[in-house]
A and B are shown apart, each in its own frame.
Chain A
């Protein structure tokens, strides 16, 4: 996911840069004078309609199924997560492979960010841990190993030390 997002973003940024550089190379007046008024209006129309169509397609492709959907039922493993300055409490530290796990995250004091990193250090998912509320996030682990929880919402002096670990066991 992250690599795709990075490549798409760099491509969009490059397109902006190319558009500006192309115009900056064409500042000298045209032989006939005047600017590209008519063609700009047509281009603007194409951009607007193109953006609307692309936006609708992106919305459908990324919102269905709903990214925050949480499964329910007897096969789901619940994990209750409680954040406090500056430590995590998880009521399970061994989790299975191939079974949906639903994390229920809350906090006893300020806002924290419950971010789960795989053994290679890649952020898999996150949710906010907030006092008075329980945010839920679901994940099905496919690889065994030691996973880390890091705080992703600034929460005070020892924010960077707020870590925990859990083990995912089983065969993929």
Chain B
């Protein structure tokens, strides 16, 4: 199968996926700082001008989503390279496009004043009420397009490599095992997960690129006439698929690293293969749960959004969560910081899914949509889920497995991060239940009671995250760090 793996190549030079993860870790810290600034402003501790607040909000949103994508694809690329032969040039090209896009986006936000939120909900980027010019909107959308093309490129290379190694994406998804009961050899979990993510993220990115291109044409050639409801469907299809892909890519680190601790190899069973095929379909089909308050949508689409929203949580709980717990149980594993963060990542993801699917119930959504309930659940499965998996991966890449387990310092950092993350996200949920709207630069006095503790918990998250990153950085940057895993 693979004659040369990515891990082998780290001996000769700096692996681009590792660079992506290091950059991602750094940007996560900056984005968390921006989040803290927004909470401090809402708490009236450090009031920001609303224009600056919304610029920061846009940067925080697009920065977090983009960095979750960057780190997710870094994890996928790094570990998929153990199983198939990938052309590294595709990842370098992706990094170039990604960083070029980031320059345009940051320029549009902080020089041009664009503050359309990361969802760029058409026709908002173009129609700004005179706050920023249409050219700035084009710049912002062009930056998004560059980033998207970068992801398209790297996923196409993954698809090519998977087909070359396994004779087709269906075989990489373990469909012979799933439908006929046997396959030899059986693709490892990383290959199954990578194949599913590659397919749905490619489709999401195509829709995202299409709506961005049409939006740009609408600005440059007024009168193209994109229907706002069609645009909303396309944007939420892309956005939902993309952010979910970041988590499904990060979980590959759990499949690859946790067996080092448990001594139990993660296996591809028929149930595992079936669950990933269900994920492949549901991740794409469930997006109408973002449009539950658009009553002009066909009722069947909204019903599907509710039902599939619930259904998409089932494969996660029944396969990945239960699988991890069963592999850990009585395994003799001695968890160090890396493994603890990876386990936390699956726990946080699972926990965050609970309020998310409850919000996917039409009647509940009517009183919870666009309140702080929404950032409550997505911050939970990002801070305590995807991002925790990234910190765990960075720590493992830097230091490998620490047979001594958790040190006192590790416990302090972990405690700060977990208490901060849980406090912040549960606080968001409580505020959402109290009907506090999301994305408001200025909070009413009665809402500030929710913001003050959030500032404290956000500081705890930032302290923990900065500690994880700074402790891993020297190992990540040294040649020893780069070669240790290849050995």
Residues of A within 8 A of B (CB): 1-3, 5-6, 8-10, 12-13, 16-17, 19-20, 23-24, 26-30, 34-37, 40, 43-44, 47-48, 51-52, 55, 58-59, 62-63, 66-68, 70, 85-86, 109-111, 113, 115, 117, 121-128, 130-137, 150-161
Complex partner residue of A20 from B131, B325, B432, CB under 8 angstroms: B325
Q: 29 A–B contact pairs at CB < 8 A?
A: A3-B433, A9-B358, A12-B354, A16-B321, A17-B347, A27-B334, A27-B335, A28-B330, A44-B318, A48-B314, A58-B361, A62-B362, A68-B295, A68-B302, A70-B295, A109-B123, A110-B124, A111-B121, A111-B124, A113-B370, A127-B293, A133-B228, A133-B296, A154-B117, A156-B54, A159-B439, A159-B441, A160-B440, A160-B442
Interface membership of B478, Cβ < 8 A: no
Q: Knowing A12-B354, A44-B271, A126-B367 touch, does A29 contact B435 (C-beta < 8 A)? A: no
The docked-state distance in angstroms from the alpha carbon of A135 to that of B294 is 6
Interface size class of B (residues with CB under 8 A): 35 or more
Quick check: A160 and B441 within 8 Å, CB to CB? yes
Complex partner residue of B123 from A16, A40, A63, A131, CB under 8 angstroms: A131
The docked-state distance in angstroms from the alpha carbon of A111 to that of B117 is 12
Residue of B nearest to A6 (CB): B433
Q: Knowing A29-B331, A67-B366, A133-B229 touch, does A156 contact B295 (C-beta < 8 A)? A: no
Residue of B nearest to A66 (CB): B299
Quick check: B437 and A27 within 8 Å, CB to CB? no
Q: Which stretch in B146-154, B304-312, B459-467 binds the other chain? A: B304-312
Interface membership of B115, Cβ < 8 A: yes
What per-residue 1/0 map shows which CB atoms of B446-469 lie under 8 Å from chain A?
100000000000000000000000
Neighbouring B residues of A132 by C-beta, 8 Å: 227-229
Nearest CB of chain B from residue A7's CB, rounded to whole Å: 9
Quick check: B329 and A26 within 8 Å, CB to CB? yes
Nearest CB of chain A from residue B365's CB, rounded to whole Å: 9
Quick check: B446 and A121 within 8 Å, CB to CB? yes
Quick check: B329 and A23 within 8 Å, CB to CB? yes
The docked-state distance in angstroms from the alpha carbon of A166 to that of B429 is 28
Neighbouring B residues of A127 by C-beta, 8 Å: 293-295
Quick check: A27 and B331 within 8 Å, CB to CB? yes
